[in-house]
Amino acid sequence: MTKPFSLPYKQMLERLTGNGAESARQVARETGISQQTLSRWLTEARSLPDVPAKKRTSKTWTIDEKIRVLAEAAKLTGAQLTAMLEREGLLLAALEQWRLALGDDAKASVATTKRMRKLERELARKEKALAEAAALLVLKKSGPPLGGRGRRHRRGERQMILAAIAEAQTAGARIEKACQVIGLSVRTIERWREGPDGDDARQGPHRRPDNALTPHEQARGVAVMTSPEYAALSPKQLVPRLADQGIYLASESTMYRLQHRFELRAPNRMATRSHVTRAATVHRATAPNQVWSWDITYLPTSVRGRSLYLYLVLDVWSRRIVGWRVHERESAELAADMIRHICDDEGVDANGLILHSDNGKAMRGSTMIATLQWLGIIPSFSRPHVSDDNPYSEALFRTLKHGPALPRLPFADVEAARRWVGRFVTWYNADHRHSAIRFVTPDQRHFGSEHAILAKRRALYARAAHEARTMVRRYPQLDSGRSHSAQS
C-alpha cells in the first residue's frame, strides 16, 4: 500500500528536486522547517521505487479558463486542492505563475465577461420585443378589431380569430398583447380553445326598442343628410342646426349610426391630422373685444411663385372675424392701418385690448408697435421657436383652406381673392356653427343671442326625450312563444 504524503511534504520535495532545485539549508531558512527534517524527507523520497510519471498533455489555457481554475482553487485547501490539481493536470507552481501573470487583467476580464453577459441578455430581450411588435403589427393589419362588448362571434369567425392569435404567438407575441389588438379578453380566447367547435348560443333580439326609428323616420334622416344643403355637415353640426329650426329627427349618435349603415360619409378632402397638444392659455377672455388674435396666411395665385397675403383678426371669446384685408405684400404698415380701421369700424375701446400674434416681421415692425401703443392695445407674442402658440388663428386658417368652399383653382387677381374672402367671412360669422362655442355662430355669441338659442335647444331635446320615454311601443314583440319558453 502506497504511503500517503501530505501537501507540505510534496511541496518541499518539488523545491528540493528537479531542475533548479534549492539546497535544504535555503529551504529551511525560508519555511521554518528544520534542515534535518528536510534531509530526511529527501532521503525517503529517493528510497521510494520509481513510479512512471503520468504523461501530461500540453493544453493551451485561455484567460477565462485560468480565471475559473484560480477561483476554484481559492476555495480549496489540503487534499481537495491536491485532487483538483491532479484532475486538471496542473502543479501548484503553475497556479502561482498564473496568479502573478494575470493580476489586473483577471479583474478586467471578469468585468468584461459580466458586461458581455448583460449585453447578451439585453439583446435577447430587445429581439424578443421586436419579434412581438412585428407579430402584433401583422395581426393588426390582418383586419379591423373583431372584439367589442356583446358582439356575436359565429363558429367560422371564432376559428379565424383563434388561428390569427396562434400565428401571432408562434411569431413571438404574448397572448395578452394579441388579445388587446383583437379586442377580446384572454379568458374568452381560452374558453374558445376549450371548445373549438362551439358557437354563439344567444338568440334574439325578440323585439325592437320602443324608441327605434321607423323606416319612414330613417328615410327622412337619410334624405336630410344627403340633401345639398346639409350633405357637407357632420351629425354634430347637423343636429344643433336643425334644432335651431325647431326640427328634431334623431340624436347625434343615431344620425352617426344611420350614416355608417347607409355609407353616407364622404371621403375627407385631406388626411386628418393627428392630435396636437395645445399651448397653455396665457390670456383669458370673458367677453367680446378683450383678446384678439391675428395672423397672415398665403393665398395662391395663377402666377407661379406669386402669392397674396390674407390678414385676419379674430376675437378669441366669440371666434368672430372682426377684420380682414387682402394685400399683395406683407407689411407692418398695412397691418397697423388694418388694426386702426377695425377699431374705428367696430367702435371698440382699444385701451387694454390684448392683441396676440406670432413673431412675424409684420407683427413686430416698428410702425405696428407704435400704432398699438398709440391705441392703447397690449401686444402679445408667441414664445420663440414655438409653432403652436397662436392656435386660434391657425385653426381659423385650417377651416378656411380645407373647407369645401375653397376654390379648386388659384385666384386670378387680388380682387377675386377679396370677393371670395368676403363671402367666407360672412358665412363663418353668420352661418358657421362653431364646435368650441357649443355650436352657435360667432355672431350669435359675439352679440349675446346665444343664451336664448341654447335654451330653445335644451327645451326641444327635453321634449324629445320625454316623448321617447312615454311613447307607445311601435313594434310588437317578435316570436313571443319562443321568448316565453326561454324565460320559463
Same domain, 345 and 393: yes
Give mean pLDDT, residues 423-429.
Answer: 96
Same domain, 131 and 34: no
In angstroms, the CA 311 to CA 315 distance is: 14
478 is a domain residue: no
pLDDT interval class at 472 (50, 70, 90): very low
Q: What CATH number is given to the structural domain containing 336? A: 3.30.420.10
Same domain, 163 and 33: no
113 is a domain residue: no
118 is a domain residue: no
Q: What is the mean pLDDT of the chain?
A: 82
Same domain, 218 and 328: no
Same domain, 254 and 160: no
Same domain, 168 and 224: no
263 is a domain residue: yes
286 is a domain residue: no
Same domain, 301 and 341: yes
pLDDT value, residue 232: 86
Range of the domain at 454: 210-267+450-473
pLDDT interval class at 148 (50, 70, 90): low
pLDDT interval class at 413 (50, 70, 90): very high
355-377 confidence digits (pLDDT tens):
999 988 899 999 999 999 999 99
Same domain, 301 and 354: yes
Same domain, 75 and 132: no
11-21 confidence digits (pLDDT tens):
666 666 655 66
307-338 confidence digits (pLDDT tens):
999 999 999 999 999 999 999 999 999 999 99
203 is a domain residue: no
Same domain, 260 and 392: no
276 is a domain residue: no
Domain count for the chain, please give it: 4
pLDDT interval class at 2 (50, 70, 90): very low
440 is a domain residue: no
